[in-house]
Amino acid sequence: MVQIKENIYWAGYIDWDLRNFHGYSTPYGSTYNAYLIIDEKPTLIDTVKHLGAQEMISRIKNIIDPAKIAYIISNHTEMDHSGSIDALLALCPNATVVASPQGEKHLKMHFKKDWKIKVVDTGSELNIGKRTLKFFTMPMVHWPDSMATYSPQDKILFPNDAFGQHYASKERFCDEVGADIIFREAAKYYANIVMPYGAQVQKVLGALAGVEFDTICPSHGLIWRGKENIEKIIALYKQWSSYTPNKQAVIIYDTMWHSTETMAKTLYRYLNESVPTTLINLKDSHISDAVTEVMLSKLVFFGTPIMNSRMLPSMGGLLTYLKGLKPKNRYAFTFGSYGWSSAGFKEVEASIEEAGMELKAFGAYFQFIPGENELNSLKELAQTAVKSL
Amino acid sequence: MTKYKCSVCGYLYEPDLGDPDGGAPAGAEFKVVYGGWTCPICGASKGQFEAEGE
């Protein structure tokens, strides 16, 4: 039984086996966090993926008879959080589901059920006994229906996916694991789930400025507590949502016969003399890790050979993903090897611009195998990039 | 000029600003924006917008 504060418990599901969350690699698995508030009207904030319904229900049973639950707050309809509402309602058929205006619509479209739904909006309050819960809608952080629940009496914010991390562990609180891993996973989560919605995150951060809380209970991963940790994650969300990358570089490439790889490694050598640089081979790395480095880096290099007049499919997949994630305020550079047609690089450049990044130099495109002079010329490209910082 | 609000995510189309990245130049009334235009925030279609104050 995990108690967060008096009469507030974690009742979630640990998904130890998860390695892929709709295309996002999750090497540590994840958790779906449901939170139980024991008050005159017992309230559950969010549920878990349907596969974890019984685990969630058994955790609830350790604390209270589920039949006593009066409210199930659905902060977000995505099925990893709403997927066990139905199983729980079977045990507490008189409970009311609480959702945002968009949440109500989404729940009806997802589950086609005639649940008793109470619609709340920003400013709405819900008295559950000693506590009066408050709600903030957070449109597009990260769905139209997204909402945060706040308990002023406990000074706890329940912001659903915001501030989440995909991290399965025996620990439940951020201060019980190393800071490096937790902030790294929070960055990967932001990059893959929240990055396109910077302006909306800024609005939420503005609304939270006057709200007093000392604990953040997200819907995935560890619970944030401790002044230093909370200030740090809020500061990072401010930085990420304002599209402010660090002064560092990432080189992302794929290769056929090692020519583009040789170029990537040569660029790495030159760049790393001046700025911290990460090298990512798309053949062996996951695009969800690549986009995390894109979010963190001001300078982004894309390298691909040309095959059948096109970029490699791995680069095509990455750039399609980035067109949706829109990592604004980055400088991009392109390079690669081609055989007889370099036309495919035009598509690479167009995709980069469509993703909101700025091309700062002509691409370095070499025919077949780059020679010594060609490789040496990459020093100039690296210098151009470093100077642009 | 009438502003239009996205019924899905709440984004407000303001004709003075337009949505130049999405192909709607500044100054364009909502009704003259091309039919394939979509909400720059959530991707909802033009038909999912509602006039403000109506």
So where are chain B's domains? 4-51
Interior/surface letters A21-44, b for 16+ CB within 10 angstroms, e for the rest: beebbbebbbbbbbbbbbbebbbb
Q: Is the distance from CB of A287 to CB of A318 less than 8 angstroms? A: yes
Taking alpha carbons only, the member of A28, A29, A27, A33 closest to residue A13 is A33
Contacts of A159 (CB under 8 A, 6+ apart): A75, A138, A148, A204, A216, A217, A218
Does A102 contact B8 at a Cβ distance shorter than 8 Å? yes
Residues of chain A with pLDDT under 70: none
Does B8 contact A200 at a Cβ distance shorter than 8 Å? no
Segment A314-343, tens digit of pLDDT: 999 999 999 999 999 999 999 999 999 999
Q: Is the distance from CB of A97 to CB of A85 less than 8 angstroms? A: yes
Domain extent, residue A113, equals 2-241
- For this structure, is A22 an active site residue? yes
- Regarding whether A265 and A298 lie in a shared domain, the answer is yes
Contacts of A373 (CB under 8 A, 6+ apart): none
Tell whether omega for the bond before A142 is within 30 degrees of 0, i.e. cis: yes
CATH number at residue A289: 3.40.50.360
How high is the pLDDT of residue B54?
Answer: 55
> What's A95's DSSP letter?
P
CA separation for the pair A386, A239 (Å, rounded)? 21
Q: Is the distance from CB of A301 to CB of A333 less than 8 angstroms? A: yes
- Interface probe, candidates B19, B42, B50, chain A, greatest A C-beta count within 10 A: B42
- Regarding whether A383 and A366 lie in a shared domain, the answer is yes
Contacts of A276 (CB under 8 A, 6+ apart): A248, A249
DSSP line for A211-242: ---SEEEESSSPBEESHHHHHHHHHHHHHHHT
- Regarding whether A287 and A215 lie in a shared domain, the answer is no
H/E segment holding residue A375:
helix A372-388
Would the pLDDT of B53 be above 80? no
- Pairing type for strands A20-21 and A215-218 reads unpaired
- Regarding whether A294 and A178 lie in a shared domain, the answer is no
Segment B1-48, tens digit of pLDDT: 899 999 998 899 999 999 998 899 999 999 999 999 999 888 899 999
- Regarding whether A237 and A258 lie in a shared domain, the answer is no
4-43 in B: which are within 8 Å (CB) of A?
A: 8-10, 41-42
Q: Is the distance from CB of A91 to CB of A68 less than 8 angstroms? A: no
CA separation for the pair A189, A21 (Å, rounded)? 11
- pTM here is 0.94
Q: What is the ipTM of this complex?
A: 0.74
Does B42 contact A144 at a Cβ distance shorter than 8 Å? yes
- Regarding whether A80 and A220 lie in a shared domain, the answer is yes
- Regarding whether A256 and A229 lie in a shared domain, the answer is no
Total structural domains within chain A:
2
Interior/surface letters A160-194, b for 16+ CB within 10 angstroms, e for the rest: bbbbbbbbbbeebbbeebeeeebbebbbbbbbbbb
- Regarding whether A37 and A140 lie in a shared domain, the answer is yes
To the nearest whole Å, the CA of B2 is away from the closest chain A CA by 22
Does B9 contact A144 at a Cβ distance shorter than 8 Å? yes
CA separation for the pair A298, A303 (Å, rounded)? 17
H/E segment holding residue A310:
strand A310-311
To the nearest whole Å, the CA of B21 is away from the closest chain A CA by 9
CATH number at residue A123: 3.60.15.10
- Regarding whether A278 and A236 lie in a shared domain, the answer is no
Fold classification of B4-51 is: Rubrerythrin, domain 2 (2.20.28)
Q: Where are the alpha helices (DSSP H) in A273-343?
A: 287-296, 313-325
- Regarding whether A384 and A303 lie in a shared domain, the answer is yes
Marked catalytic residue, from A15, A142, A268, A293:
A142
Cβ-Cβ contacts under 8 Å, A199 against chain B: 41
66-105 in A: which are within 8 Å (CB) of B?
A: 102
B51: left (phi over 0), alpha (psi -120 to 50) or beta: beta
